[in-house]
Structures are given as structure tokens and as C-alpha cells.
Amino acid sequence: MIIARNINKSFGKLNVLCGVDLHIKKGSIYGLAGRSGTGKSTFLRCINGLESYDDGNLIVDGVDVRGLPSTSLSAFRKNIGMIFQNFSLLERLTVYDNVALPLKCWKYNAFDIDKKVKNLLALVGISEKIGQKPRALSGGQKQRVAIARALSLEPKILLCDEATSALDPKTAQEIIALLQRINNRMGITIVVVTHQMSVLSSACDEVAILENGRVDSKGPVREIFRQQPMALKNLLGEKHAMEIEKGRIVTISLSADNRLPGQIACDLGIELAITGGKTGLGDTSPDNLRLSFSENDFPDVERYLVARHAIWQIIHEPSSVFKCAV
Amino acid sequence: MILNNYLAYWWKYFDGIIAPSILATLRMLTASMILSFILGFAIAILLVLYGPRGLRPVPSRYKVIDFIVNSIRSFPIIILIVAISPLTRLIVGTSIGETAAIFPLTIAATPFMARIMENSLKAIDQQLIEAARSFGASDWQIITKVMVKEAMPSIVSGTTLSAITFLSATTLAGAVGAGGIGAVALNYGYQSFNNTVLYTSVIILFLMVQAIQITGDWLYKRIL
């Protein structure tokens, strides 16, 4: 669906992309991860021609992006929806008019527009806000509207530029679930730029981790998390990543500015069980969270990487209940 | 009795001199504002189209328009009116009177309006424009359906600001033969030592500014 061969791009002397090679399969959800400034967003924007590149080949749905004259660029972009971190809705238009905007630009007739907009709003679960303006909506609701707008022209590809970064973990998960549903139901290829582990772990089939404009590692998400390449550790940050061996008990301090363990767990897409029988998310905030590992917990995992005070290695088994003692 | 006499005196001036001059001022202001709004809007669109971070950057064209806008804006308005009076005479036929004043006022207001609207349009979140690009909107659609639409409240408040600025400009124009409330205040009030006329004019100008501001604010809230 999207084939990138040796893509190079520089802004002046700064090389943003250095020989990016990627193959994104049709119908998959592909994650582009990496720290800020590694070129992941730039690459994403090359896919729909918002950004040009200096060298290499980028074939999107059989079309070479660079050779496109500006006249066919619009038609090409019709096939590629895009959503953004800050939602990019028109504040002065209602939800309905925001979703209808691309259809109006493409001169659909009023009847089709009405039908499509209503269907899309139902799909993203926000029909009741149809006449509201964006300022009356929450972040998650805004992103739902943006998704509906991006899907209005029935694109084959959906690009998500840090689409969940401005949302709280729970809302982010809901948006990810929505994207997965869209992917399942419509078979749209989704490319997700993110630095959130939870997005990669819960939604993506494959991932590429970019570092300094290069693809450091790529492959199925499970593989990458198992291999734990350096780039992944860099992405998490030294301070927040530490390895724990099986059978050891580790106490992790949660300082005031840290998120609640429940939220972390939610962020990771795992369920957190607190000793005492209380299972739940978000309603506990102990100063110290003790995490214990036993032989039986995760037989196929040798080491655990603790990131941001949470065990994200467990994303191998999103459904597993993680035991911890408070 | 004294009060009645004074009121009769006041009414004589108001009815005979001030009232017609209010209408003259309103006509000058309305005409020059409408013309400069249209012209300024067109120039603002060219500026956001060709500007450095514009939709279709063409630095050479931007520089030319930018230079013209800055040049006209660098003249104090009263100097501009006097300086371009030969041109005014050529185009309008005369350089004195209400109609003749509309031309230099429009020339002075256009770059001002253009800048204000350019700033309003430029203040639109860049990502909104990208979003519009991403679904294949043309440059023209981005301008009309996204930028102008989103910038409307700020365009309205900018126009209110311009209207107030150019209300004072019309009174300045009064000093060089344009007529209107400014001319009345200067000629009958100041130079003829008629305080009744002077302060009536002052109060009327004050009320006009209030009226413009209130209308502008109301419109701003309404469309927000």
C-alpha cells in the first residue's frame, strides 16, 4: 500500500529523513514511533504530499507521490484522510458542518452530504453533538469529529499525527479502539505517528522506530517489544526504563507528579489488580507500588522492562491481570 | 426663558449646520470604508497567498505588494490627502468637498485594512490549513471556506477598529476642505469661537465612536 525506498529529506543543513525504507501493508495499522524530532511526522506528511522529500521513492497506493502535478495532488489526497494532535476543527462551524466540509469542497450534492455526515457521526459515536460547535466538546469528542471528517471522502488510508497525544489515557484508549474498529470494518490502512507505548501495544500490527531520521528497527509490534532494541529504550528515556529479572520484587516510588498506577495500567492496555481484591483503574494512588514477578506470571518473558513506573513488557498479554502488592 | 433662548440658538446651528455635516461625515465614512474593505480584503488575500508562509509563496510579488502597503501607510493621513490632491482632481474632477474626500480616504484606509485583515487571516492555526489540504481543498477553497470563515470575528473587530480610526480621519479631512462634522467643529467652533458648535460636534463624534464600537462588539459576539 505504502512503499518507501530510501527517502531523504533535509531542512537546510538538518537531515530529517535519512534513507527511510518502509513497507506498510494494505489494511494494517502501522505505528511510527520515536522521540520528538526524529522525523516521524515529517515522513507521515510526505505520504499525502503535505511535505516534499529530496530523494528516494514513495509509492502510495500505486502512485509516485513526488511526480504528482499540483492538479492531481488534490485528487490523490482525497484518498488519504488525516487527523492531528490538536484536532484541527473549524471553531466557527458546527460538528455537522465540520464533517461536511470536505464533501462540500468536492461538490457532493446536499442529499449525499446529509446522509454521509449522519452515518459518519453515528459511526464515531457522536450523533448527539451534531449541532454543537467544537468549543462545547471534550478532547475525545473533538477527535471523533476529526475522524469522521477524515473518513468523509472514504479514503483508503488514514494518517494519524499524534492523534491521541493531547488526550488523557482513558480517552486515548477509546480513540484507539475506534480506529481499530474502523480498520476492521472498512479495511482502511492506518498509519499512526506516536510516542505513546499504549498506542503501539494496543493497536498496531507493525511498528517502525525512528531515530535521527533513520529507521532503527521495524517489524511486528510483539517482536520489537521482545527484542527491546536500544531505540525503544531511548524512546522511553533512561530515567524511566529499568530492567527487572524474573522472580524479583521491585518497589517503585511514585512521586506526586506521576500518574496514578491505574492510569499507567490503562495507558499500557493492561488491567491492574490491587491486592485486597480491588480491581480497577485510576482510583488508587499509593506512594509505593510493589511489583512482583513470579515464574508463573509470564512464562515466555525473560526480562521485564519497567518504564514510566509501569511494566510495559506485559503488553505481550494485554488481557493478563498484573499482580502487585501495595 | 434663558434656557429656551439657548435651545432655540442651539437648534438653529444644529439644524442648519451640524445635522447636514453629520450626514456628510457618515457618507464619507461609509463610502470609504466599503471601498477600502473590498480593496483591502483583496490585497490581504494576495498577501496571505504570496507571503513567506503563505499558501503559494511568491516572494517577489509579496515584496512589491508589501512595499506599496507600507509606503502608503507611512504617510500621515492629512499629508496624504494634500499630497495626492492632484490625483484626486484628475479622478474625481475636484479636490474639494465630500466626494473628493472619499478618494484619498479610501487610498489611506485600504492598506490599513489590508494589514489588519492579513493579520487576522495569518492568525489562523497553520494546522487547520494543513487539514484542509489533507482532504484536497484547493487554495481558493482554503481561503474562502477555512481562513475567511475562521478569521471572521477578528476581521469584524479589525473593521471596527478601522472605522473608528477613519472616523477621525474624516474630521482631519475636514481641515482641508472635505466638509463634514470635523470641518464644522474647526470652522464654526474653533475659528469662530463658537463653543456651542464646537462641543456639540465633540459630543456627536463621541457618540459616533460609541455607536461604531457597540455595533462592532455586537456583531463580533453574534458571529463568534
* Contact between A190 and A29 (Cβ < 8 Å): yes
Q: Indicate yes or no: CB of A152 within 8 angstroms of CB of B135.
A: yes
Highest mean pLDDT among A68-77, A209-218, B90-99, B201-210: B201-210
pLDDT grade for A173, boundaries at 50, 70 and 90 = confident
The pLDDT of residue A226: 67
pLDDT score at A283: 31
Task: Report whether B191 contacts B185 (CB < 8 A).
Answer: no
Q: What share of chain A is helix, strand, coil (3-state, %, to 5)?
A: 35, 30, 35
Judged by CB atoms closer than 8 Å, whether chains meet at A105 and B136 is answered as: yes
Would you say residue A251 has pLDDT above 70? no
A132 to A15, A87, A90, A126, A147: CA distances (angstroms) = 43, 15, 12, 11, 16
| Higher pLDDT pick, B49 / B172 | B49
Give the pLDDT band of residue A223 (cuts 50, 70, 90). confident
Q: How far is B145 from chain A (nearest CA, A)?
A: 8
Contact B135 A102 (CB under 8 A): yes
Our CA-based measurement puts residue A73 at a distance from the nearest CA of chain B, in whole angstroms, of 7
B224 touches chain A (CB under 8 A): yes
Residue A213: CB atoms within 10 Å: 23
CB contact under 8 A, A150 and B134: yes
Using the Cα atoms of residue B87, residue B88, residue B89 and residue B92 in order, give the sign of their dihedral. positive
Using a CB–CB cutoff of 8 Å, tell me whether B12 touches chain A.
Answer: no
Q: Which three cell numbers stand for residue B12?
A: 438653529
Cell numbers 442648519: residue = B16
C-alpha distances out from residue B63 to A131, B44, B51, B67, B122, Å: 43, 13, 8, 6, 17
Contact call for B136 and A150, based on CB within 8 A = no
Q: Cβ contact (<8 Å) for A90 and B128?
A: yes
User: Chain B contact for A152, CB < 8 A?
Assistant: yes
Res A133: pLDDT: 93
In chain B, what residues touch A93 (CB-CB under 8 Å)? 149
Q: C-alpha angle with apex A261: A257 to A263, nearest 5 degrees?
A: 85
ipTM of predicted assembly, 2 dp: 0.81
Q: Model-level pTM?
A: 0.78
d(CA A192, CA B204): 62
Q: Does the beta carbon of B139 lie under 8 angstroms from any beta carbon of chain A?
A: no
pLDDT confidence tier of residue A229, bands split at 50, 70 and 90? confident
Exposure of A19 in the CB half-sphere (CA atoms within 13 A): 1
Domains (range + CATH), chain B:
2-223 (1.10.3720.10)
Most confident of A142-146, A221-225, B177-181: A142-146
Q: Are A195 and A168 in contact (CB under 8 A)?
A: no
Question: Which three cell numbers mark B32?
Answer: 470609504
Nearest to A82 among B128, B134, B145 (CB): B134
Three-state secondary structure readout of chain B: CHHHHHHHHHHHHHHHHHHHHHHHHHHHHHHHHHHHHHHHHHHHHHHHHHCCCCCCCCHHHHHHHHHHHHHHHCCCHHHHHHHCHHHHHHHHCCCCCHHHHHHHHHHHHHHHHHHHHHHHHHCCCHHHHHHHHHCCCCHHHHHHHHHHHHHHHHHHHHHHHHHHHHHHHHHHHHHCCCCCHHHHHHHHHHCCCCHHHHHHHHHHHHHHHHHHHHHHHHHHHHHC
Tell me, yes or no, if B125 comes closer than 8 A to chain A by beta carbon: yes
Query: What are the chain B neighbours of A146 within 8 Å (beta carbons)?
Result: 131
Measure the CA–CA gap between A37 and A214, rounded to whole angstroms: 11
User: Is some CB atom of chain A closer than 8 A to the CB atom of B146?
Assistant: yes
State whether A149 and B135 contact (CB < 8 Å).
yes
B52: its cell numbers: 513567506
Length of chain A: 326
Kindly report the average pLDDT of chain A as a whole number.
75
Question: Which ranges in A152-272 belong to alpha helices (H)?
Answer: 169-186, 197-203, 221-227, 230-236, 261-268
What size, in residues, is chain B? 224
Q: What is the C-alpha to C-alpha distance for residues A256 and A271, in angstroms, rounded to an integer?
A: 22
Q: Which of A63, A76, A79, A84 to mutate to test the interface with B (most CBs of B within 10 A)?
A: A84
Q: Is A224 on the interface with B (CB under 8 A)?
A: no
Are A77 and B132 a contacting pair at CB < 8 A? no
Q: What's residue B13's pLDDT?
A: 86
From chain A, pick out residues whose CB is under 8 angstroms from the CB of B145.
Answer: 101, 104-105
CA gap B71, B53 in Å, rounded: 22
Interchain CB distance below 8 Å, B137 and A105: yes
Predicted confidence (pLDDT) at residue B54 exceeds the cutoff of 50: yes
Query: A101 and B145: CB-CB below 8 Å?
Result: yes
First to last CA, chain A: 48
From the list B18, B5, B4, the residue with the least C-alpha distance to B197 is: B18
Model confidence at A202: pLDDT above 70: yes
Q: CA nearest A159 in B: which residue?
A: B134
Q: Does A261 touch chain B (CB under 8 A)?
A: no
Provide the shortest C-alpha distance from residue B150 to chain A (in Å). 6
* Range of weakest confidence among A69-73, A256-260, B50-54: A256-260
- Mark which residues 153-192 of B lie under 8 Å from A by CB: 153
Which residue from A30, A66, A23 is spatially nearest to A48, judged by alpha carbons?
A66
- Mean pLDDT, to the nearest integer, of A146-167? 93
Q: Which of B121, B130, B135 to probe by mutation at the A interface, max A CB count within 10 Å?
A: B135
Alpha helix (H) ranges present in chain A? Answer: 40-47, 70-78, 95-105, 110-123, 139-151, 169-186, 197-203, 221-227, 230-236, 261-268
B49 vs A289 pLDDT, higher one: B49
Q: What is the pLDDT of residue B105?
A: 92
Q: B36 near B109, Cβ under 8 Å?
A: yes
CB A261 within 8 A of CB A245: no
Flag whether residue B132 sits within 8 Å of chain A, measured between CB atoms.
Answer: yes
On whether the CB atoms of residues A162 and A277 are closer than 8 A, the answer is no
Burial class (CB in 10 A: 0-12, 13-18, 19+), A187: exposed
Q: How far apart, in whole angstroms, are the C-alpha atoms of residue A256 and residue B55?
A: 46
What distance in Å separates residue A147's CA from the closest CA in chain B? 11
C-alpha Rg value of chain A to the nearest Å? 21
Q: Which residue of A has its CA nearest to B125?
A: A88
User: Given an 8 Å threshold on Cβ–Cβ distance, is A105 in contact with B223?
Assistant: no
Contacts of B127 in chain A (CB under 8 A): 84, 86, 88
Q: Is the pLDDT of residue A247 over 60?
A: no
Q: How many CB pairs under 8 A join A and B?
A: 72
Share of chain A above pLDDT 90, in %: 44
| Chain-chain contact of B131 with A84 (C-beta, under 8 angstroms) | yes
The Cα angle at residue B48 between residues B47 and B49, in degrees rounded to 5: 90
In which band, very low, low, confident or very high, does the pLDDT at A316 lie, cut at 50, 70 and 90?
Answer: very low
Q: For residues A101 and A87, is the Cβ–Cβ distance under 8 A?
A: no
Provide the shortest C-alpha distance from residue B3 to chain A (in Å): 54
β-sheet with A206-211: strand ranges across: A80-83, A157-161, A189-194, A29-34, A206-211, A214-220
